[in-house]
Chain A
């Protein structure tokens, strides 16, 4: 379980990115975090694994308080949280396998990692994951040779090989086409279900959020303005999060998007 307790972040420039965010995410829950650009979505998930240091407040991963950990304990805690990025953030000049194995860095010493002498069990797991996302034949390709969707799958493998309890997912589909976006979102959600992971997914595509998440939190100017089920997204709520706009169409389209359609995309993908 992840618990945020009145988390705030003020940047040096004086911008208040987050104000008193309190949230609780039970184990196994996939939560979508929506909101306009600049609402503080990225800051929120970076404050959890402290890629951005929160100004005040506390973050609890199960019973461990994260915001006061020293460097070595922080690394230990980061190991338990897999992160997936908008621009994939793969190390471009390393191979797919090296990128996946870099998720094991906390577990192995420096020299073993430097000479790429990972334990066989890690390599087995890497192959299992790559096979699961359909990329096992690509393991020797360099990351910059892959397409966007393939890169994001490698990113997912890197996060999962950490054996995390929680996934922090920052705009996973923002650089992908609509079909690949759906495939990636489905993959993330399936893997969360298989491994009973909870996840926070930043996403600015409301439709995708409604399709895949069990819970939606709307952020506006660093404050939570909506917290509820996907079907509670009424035009009024969307107006509150994003501002005045004709939201009727957006909601309608989601209703049209029946389950059969999704199944079809999944089989095409395989």
Chain B
């Protein structure tokens, strides 16, 4: 905000001159960087392939239809596996994320100096590694199969659930907690009466949201041998069996739509 005097009148502008100029300079630099990068990428692109893209796209789609519907009978088992991987992984993540979240939230952590950094480290390391990479590592350690997939999904989800949950804990109304404390309640009673009711809707929302994401993530775990429908997807693409690929994609989309519908219902019921 800048106020200057001009002919005896007070003139108000949002920013003073120097601030305005530095903002323009910022825009200038950002656009320049963008354009330089664009030019570099454009130089490295083989444009012949790109111009060819529509024809290639049409070609693949034409090979995908009609879907080979009888193939669906082969993959039902792995669809069920995929859902189980997502569900069990989410349950595991929630069980581990709840204590982590309480340790990470500034207002409930036992120690801001010692416990909180550990909880935050757990959250960051879990979040920064993609579930496919977790699966890759775990297949090497645990051997291929669903179990590795469940653990991979679980490890990836702890950070997500704990982060959103601890943010919800930090945003609670301290007045309600204070009132429960003032009755002479113990620490754990205060938690159960003052804090838990306040974060329950967030907790339910986070859990079903993560379950929803995990169904999508677990569809690719089969690529690295961690169980689920991904194994058929990679096999069909490798064999150029495009009519099977289209069946798999349709089944995945249907599963995701159903899971989204379920999670919307659950969220609605709890909030």
Nearest B residue to A105 via CB reads B185
Tell me, yes or no, whether A91 is within 8 Å of chain B by CB.
yes
A133-159 CB contacts (< 8 Å) to partner B: 155, 158
A residues with a Cβ closer than 8 A to B are: 49, 51, 75-79, 81, 83, 85, 87, 89-94, 98, 102-106, 110, 113-114, 155, 158, 162, 168
B138-180 CB contacts (< 8 Å) to partner A: 173, 175-176, 178-180
> Would A91 and B192 be within 8 Å (CB), given that A51-B181, A102-B183, A162-B184 are in contact?
no
Nearest A residue to B187 via CB reads A71
By a CB distance below 8 angstroms, the chain B residues around A162 are: 183-184
Do B185 and A49 touch (CB < 8 A)? no
Tell me, yes or no, whether B200 is within 8 Å of chain A by CB.
yes
Quote the shortest CB–CB distance from B213 to chain A (angstroms): 26
By a CB distance below 8 angstroms, the chain B residues around A105 are: 180, 183-186, 189, 193
Chain B interface, DSSP helix/strand/loop, else mixed: helix
- A and B contact pairs by CB, cutoff 8 A, 15 listed: A75-B184, A75-B186, A77-B184, A78-B183, A89-B175, A91-B194, A91-B197, A91-B198, A102-B193, A105-B185, A106-B183, A110-B189, A113-B193, A114-B192, A162-B183
- Residues of B in contact, count (CB < 8 Å): 21
Tell me, yes or no, whether B188 is within 8 Å of chain A by CB.
yes
Q: Which listed residue, A75, A90, A103, touches B176 by the CB 8 Å rule?
A: A90
Nearest B residue to A83 via CB reads B182
Do B179 and A110 touch (CB < 8 A)? no
Do A113 and B179 touch (CB < 8 A)? no
By a CB distance below 8 angstroms, the chain A residues around B189 are: 105, 110, 113
By a CB distance below 8 angstroms, the chain B residues around A93 are: 197-198, 200-201
For A91, A93, A155, the residue with the greatest tally of chain B CB atoms inside 10 Å of its CB is A91
Report the Cα distance A159→B125, complex, angstroms.
Answer: 45
By a CB distance below 8 angstroms, the chain A residues around B188 are: 110
> Would A78 and B175 be within 8 Å (CB), given that A92-B198, A93-B198, A113-B193 are in contact?
no
Do A78 and B197 touch (CB < 8 A)? no
Nearest B residue to A102 via CB reads B193
By a CB distance below 8 angstroms, the chain A residues around B197 are: 91-94
By a CB distance below 8 angstroms, the chain A residues around B201 are: 93
Report the Cα distance A103→B173, complex, angstroms.
Answer: 19
Do B180 and A78 touch (CB < 8 A)? no
Q: Which listed residue, B173, B175, B183, B192, touches A79 by the CB 8 Å rule?
A: B183
